Amino acid sequence: MNITLSPDVEKRIQELVERGDYPNADALVQEAVGSFLDVESEEDLEAIRRRIEISESEIDRGEFLEYDAENIGDLAKDVHARGKKRLVEGRKAGPRG
């Protein structure tokens, strides 16, 4: 993988390597990306925890639906409809990048 960095970032990396903080630029970039991914994973976990707390509160307030053999088809239809809606909304928003 080849990655292009701005001259300012390259200069800062070189300074840290020359100072002896890292043996080379690859080691610094590897650590930086690893740290970023760890933080991103923690943020994902926190978002999941928040959603679970919200869901548990909704359940405590009785804001849920129960499904059984007779109405489980309704769940599938609902999931399908919500998925289609999200796809349409995603197309309206345009490409992400």
Global confidence as pTM: 0.44
3-state SS, residue 61: coil
13 confidence band (pLDDT: 50, 70, 90): very high
96 confidence band (pLDDT: 50, 70, 90): low
Q: Look at residues 34, 33, 27 and name the one whose alpha carbon lies nearest to residue 13.
A: 27
Residue 28, judged by CB atoms within 10 A of its CB (0-12, 13-18, 19+), counts as middle
Q: Where are the domains of the chain?
A: 1-64, 65-97
Give the pLDDT of residue 30: 92
Tens-digit pLDDT profile for residues 27-73: 999 999 988 888 788 888 888 899 999 999 999 999 988 888 898 98
Give the pLDDT of residue 58: 95
Which long-range CB contacts under 8 A does 66-73 form with residues at least 24 apart?
Answer: none
